[in-house]
Structure 1
Amino acid sequence: MEWIVLLSIGLAAGTIGSLIGLGGGVIIVPALLFFSTYTGYLQTISPQVAVGTSLVIMIFTGLSSTLAYLKHKMVDYKSGLIFFLGSGPGGIVGAWINQTLDMRTFNIFFGAFMIFVSLLLLVNHKLKPMPLKAENGIHRTFIDNEGRTWEYGFQPVIAIFIAFIVGLSSGLFGIGGGSLMVPAMLLLFLFPPHVAVATSMFMIFLSSIVSSTTHISLGHINWQYAFLLIPGAWFGAKLGAFINMKLASKTVVHILRLILILVGFRLIYQGFTG
């Protein structure tokens, strides 16, 4: 029964994470804690081990979905590498903070922020784009599968700072960081939804390597669970990428908003009851 539960968790996490660019940690971490604490299906593990194990899985989820998106030329890997300059160091800091932080208070505020971001996505079409200076801003053009041309871009310094916060949350919660990065790419940098998701998964792949390495050094990995989660997460990531490319851009945003609300309320509940 244990291996069935873990394969199922991995499949669900890979599919949902790849579909909307979250990475899947929002499924893995609470699922591991739930099944290990409230059922007899899994051995009891600490939140630190759940986070560390989740980040190992994020490496394979990120790689699998990135390879799928690369085939359709949806990954802006140049922007992803710039974001990684912030998310990599942030992941290391988050992993170390994970050992000592009062998670209850942080969960409440982080959950409230997730809900706030989801509300921003309701009015994102009314927001004015962040002004870009031609001399130092990075600009991109993308034509989606609906024939629509997207103009987007960002200031590298601002992007690296945001990515650092994303990496910190990834190392801290084991959630991959896409729940912050994708809305930032949509709202601040005007990324096309499909490109935002695909590029987020590429960044998650890179930052998860750094974050998980730190957690490995701290002994926060349950390798038995990791090896059983990986197959489901790998194939789930490919399935999520396939579904994403079949959906309209607005549908991807709607799914992202719903997931953010669910994640937000879950974190708030965890903060009050943990």
Structure 2
Amino acid sequence: MHTHDETQKQIFLKVSLIGLFGGFFGGLLGIGGSFLVIPFLIASLGLSPHKSHATALPVAFASGVAALGFYFSSGQIDVSISIQVMIGCLVGVIAGTRLMKFVKGQMLSFLFGLFLLSLASVYMFPVTPLSSIVTTSQYYTIVMAIGLGLVAGLSSGLFGAGGGTILVPGTVILLQVSEHMGQGISLLAIIPTTILGTWLQYKQDNIALNIAPLLTGTAFIGGLLGGYMAILTHGTILRALIVIALLYIGLQNAIKNYPWRKKAASSQISKVN
């Protein structure tokens, strides 16, 4: 039988490892890392889907702040595009957070899985700028940047994750920036988005306050290492790592929370009884 102190130590260790893991890969891949920690918060700590998705938001903030200096120092951030993306993100996260409370826990996890699988399908193919199809006028850049931010913010508010996974390929394809530049823009835009999203989720009592500070602190440490490694790693390798993570977590959520499968199992049990 575990004593109270032993149980607290185990929780401390689990939260620390989850935060380090999410922060490292969030900084490395420029995607925040929230979606990576959600399954662990549910499986290892027993949080509900809503609390897990909401509590994961500060991970993206911490890893973004930690890794941002490395992207700035290497000239991999376009501040003007980042600000335009932020505008869309802040509007989107408000709408997404309000929408989350109308989605049941199992359905939230299932939709999250489908969302990640759809993103994986985008990443699996070479991300090539649409230079031969689109124009690069200032008006086009502003509209596309705000539009991308809106979709990314909606994802962050609804799922507590996914904003960076939209922004990185979106900026590369539609705004014709490099892979590393897309990651830098994503991290900078994610910071104010996650601050607002976390505050909104806190007001709805969705944040697990007993673990959020430790999770955020360890994610910051992981983000420092991830940001340093990102500048040294080739973009193709980064994209491959994102695909693997999206496929694994997406399939896990979609299969495990497939609504019709669970309903069928429930109906069979009721018939036996």
Q: How far is the alpha carbon of 1:5 from its aligned partner?
A: 0.7
Alignment partners' CA distance in 2, 1:25 and 1:125: 23
Alignment partners' CA distance in 2, 1:265 and 1:15: 22
If asked which structure has higher relative contact order (CA below 8 Å, sep 6+), I would say 1
Q: How far is the alpha carbon of 1:165 from its aligned partner?
A: 1.4
Q: How far is the alpha carbon of 1:174 from its aligned partner?
A: 1.2
Which stretch of the first structure deviates more once superposed, 95-104 or 110-119? 110-119
C-alpha spacing 1:92/1:70, structure 2 compared with 1 (3 Å): same
Residues matched between the structures, number = 250
TM-score (norm 2): 0.83
2:81 is matched with which residue?
79
After the TM superposition, which parts of structure 1 deviate over 6 Å for at least 4 consecutive aligned residues?
Answer: none
Task: Indicate yes or no: 2:96 matched with 1:94.
Answer: yes
C-alpha spacing 1:167/1:125, structure 2 compared with 1 (3 Å): closer
Give the SS at the match of 1:36: coil
Which structure's residues are more often helix, by fraction?
2
TM-score (norm 1): 0.82
Alignment partners' CA distance in 2, 1:127 and 1:136: 18
Task: Indicate yes or no: 2:140 matched with 1:131.
Answer: no
Which of 147, 159, 169 pairs up with 1:173?
159
Q: 1:124–1:187: 8 Å Cα contact kept in structure 2?
A: no
Q: Deviations over 1:6-52 (max 9, x none)?
A: 11000000001111122111122211111123xxxxxxx32222222
Name the amino acid aligned to 1:53. T
Task: Indicate yes or no: 2:31 matched with 1:22.
Answer: yes
1:205 is matched with which residue?
191
1:261 is matched with which residue?
247
* Structure 2 gap ranges (5+): 1-9, 263-273
1:11 is matched with which residue?
20
Q: 1:121–1:187: 8 Å Cα contact kept in structure 2?
A: no
Alignment partners' CA distance in 1, 2:215 and 2:169: 27
C-alpha spacing 1:271/1:7, structure 2 compared with 1 (3 Å): same
Q: Deviations over 1:186-233 (max 9, x none)?
A: 222232111111211111111101111111111111222011112210
1:57 is matched with which residue?
59
Q: 1:58–1:176: 8 Å Cα contact kept in structure 2?
A: no
Q: Deviations over 1:143-202 (max 9, x none)?
A: xxxxxxxxxxxx322321221111111111111511111121222223211111121111
Alignment partners' CA distance in 2, 1:161 and 1:209: 20
Alignment partners' CA distance in 2, 1:134 and 1:191: 14
C-alpha spacing 1:164/1:205, structure 2 compared with 1 (3 Å): same
Which structure has the larger Rg over C-alpha atoms?
2
Alignment partners' CA distance in 1, 2:162 and 2:88: 14
Q: 1:87–1:167: 8 Å Cα contact kept in structure 2?
A: yes
Task: Indicate yes or no: 2:195 matched with 1:192.
Answer: no
Alignment partners' CA distance in 1, 2:246 and 2:185: 18
C-alpha spacing 1:127/1:90, structure 2 compared with 1 (3 Å): closer
* Structure 1 gap ranges (5+): 38-44, 138-154
Name the amino acid aligned to 2:93. G
Alignment partners' CA distance in 2, 1:135 and 1:22: 26
1:146 is matched with which residue?
none
Q: How far is the alpha carbon of 1:120 from its aligned partner?
A: 3.2
Q: Deviations over 1:112-156 (max 9, x none)?
A: 44334333334335674341153634xxxxxxxxxxxxxxxxx32
Which stretch of the first structure deviates more once superposed, 9-18 or 65-74? 65-74
C-alpha spacing 1:106/1:28, structure 2 compared with 1 (3 Å): closer
Name the amino acid aligned to 2:165. S
1:162 is matched with which residue?
148
